[in-house]
Amino acid sequence: MKENKYCLKLLTLALISLILSSCFLFNFDSPDDLIEIHKFKGQDYSNYVPVSLTDDKTKIHSAPGLWPTQWPVKLVNGYYLNGALGENSGYVSITIEDYNENYTKIGIDSLNKLVIERDPYLEFYRGDLDDFWVEEGGYYGIDTAAINNLIRNGNLEKYFNRLK
């Protein structure tokens, strides 16, 4: 009986180890490992709350949760770093400041009625954080100076995948 308990514990430990290492084995990127850069095609919505829209952009797929929504970081030439919910983001008529103070528990159905832009981006890029990580400075360790230089020199597509 003791051998069965030992085998069960060993099997459980092996399974947990396999699950925890699967991201490394299959090289999945977590959202925290990605950088998104975007440029608005018309009005600047950087002060408004982004929502993730379905592929056909008719409904909200997801919205910021109970945590405070962060403003995107302004880069050069009208580009922004992060602050979106992917290339299918839309924006609602609530400012980030107002949302963080008053609206963190609003439902998706209510937010859907407040969408003011369903196709805001002229350009949208996604890339790996590893190429732009610095120990100190920048925005959460992201080397914004290097990204600004890429923008100035027209080299974003050398380091980032253009999704739009």
pLDDT at 83: 79
AA letter at 125: Y
| DSSP, res 99 | I
For residues 129 and 36, is the Cβ–Cβ distance under 8 A?
no
* Calpha distance 129→34 (Å, rounded): 5
pLDDT, tens only, 33-61: 678 999 999 899 999 999 999 999 999 98
In angstroms and rounded to an integer, the radius of gyration of the C-alpha atoms of the chain is: 20
Mean pLDDT of the chain: 78
Model confidence, pTM? 0.72
Angle at 61 between CA 59 and CA 65, to 5 degrees: 125
* Residue 144, pLDDT above cutoff 90: no
Tokens of 41: 């095609």
What is the DSSP track for 26-38?
Answer: HTPPPGGGEEEEE
User: End-to-end distance of the chain based on CA atoms, in angstroms?
Assistant: 61
* Calpha distance 155→139 (Å, rounded): 20
pLDDT at 4: 65
H or E stretch including 111? helix 108-112
pLDDT at 31: 45
Minimum mean pLDDT range among 75-84, 125-134, 142-151:
125-134
What is the CB-side half-sphere exposure of residue 18 using CA atoms within 13 A?
Answer: 6
Q: Could you tell me what percent of the chain has a pLDDT over 70?
A: 68
pLDDT-derived band at 85, boundaries 50, 70, 90:
confident
